[in-house]
């Protein structure tokens, strides 16, 4: 696996974990992860992990900013990953 593939995988695992942590903090009074930070994790390579976490934990699924942008980012990142990998 190339460094690009490893970093892509790491970004997605990290995004998944950050979304999971935010969901776990939701019912408490502890300060949560800001929405901008969640979107930045998705934007910088972790959109697939963010999307899977949104579906798995049912987190941020009713917010248009997330249910529109995260899938769009995911499609764009997967396109770039395939293009980089195979062309």
* Angle, vertex CA 35, rays to CA 22 and CA 32, nearest 5: 35
pLDDT, mean over the chain: 92
- Cα–Cα separations (whole angstroms), residue 74 to 7, 28, 29, 30: 15, 30, 31, 29
| pLDDT score, position 9 | 94
pLDDT at 48 over 80: yes
| pLDDT score, position 69 | 97
| Distance in angstroms (rounded) separating the CA atoms of residues 81 and 49 | 14
DSSP classification of residue 26: T
pLDDT bucket at 5, cuts 50 / 70 / 90? confident
Q: Helix crossing, 3-25 with 47-57: angle to 10°?
A: 30
**What average pLDDT does range 10-34 have in this prediction?**
92
pLDDT bucket at 87, cuts 50 / 70 / 90? low
């Amino acid at each position: 696996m190339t460094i690009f593939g490893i970093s892509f995988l790491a970004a997605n695992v990290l995004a998944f974990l950050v979304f999971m942590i935010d969901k776990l903090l939701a019912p408490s009074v502890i300060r949560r992860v800001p929405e901008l930070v969640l979107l930045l994790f998705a934007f910088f390579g972790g959109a697939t992990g963010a999307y899977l976490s949104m579906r798995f934990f049912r987190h941020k699924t009713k917010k248009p900013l997330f249910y529109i942008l995260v899938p769009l980012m995911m499609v764009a990142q997967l396109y770039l990953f395939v293009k980089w990998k195979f062309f």
